[in-house]
């Protein structure tokens, strides 16, 4: 059965609050884009694995 994805919404929060530290300052734009790209690649890989018979 094929899976059709019309829209993918990815929300990521990166911080150190769970270890008791203060939140880190916002990442530079290049780091942010790299993080988003990595997240998208992982989601696409999961979708590819789900499509395999």
- In three-state form (DSSP H/G/I as H, E/B as E, the rest C), the secondary structure along the chain is CCCCCCCCCCCCCCCCHHHCCCCCCCCCHHHHHHHHHHHHHHHHHHHHHHHCC
Q: Give the CA radius of gyration of the chain.
A: 15
Residues 10-43 pLDDT 10s: 887 776 555 555 555 666 787 888 888 999 999 9
Residues 30-39 pLDDT 10s: 788 888 899 9
Model-level pTM? 0.46
Place of tokens 């203060």: 22
- Predicted pLDDT at 18: 59
5 has a pLDDT exceeding 80: no
């Amino acid at each position: 059965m094929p899976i059709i994805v019309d829209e993918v919404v990815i929300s990521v929060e990166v911080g150190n609050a769970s270890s008791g530290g203060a939140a880190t300052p916002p990442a530079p734009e290049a780091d942010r884009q790299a993080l988003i790209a990595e997240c998208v690649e992982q989601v696409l890989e999961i979708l590819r694995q789900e499509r395999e018979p």
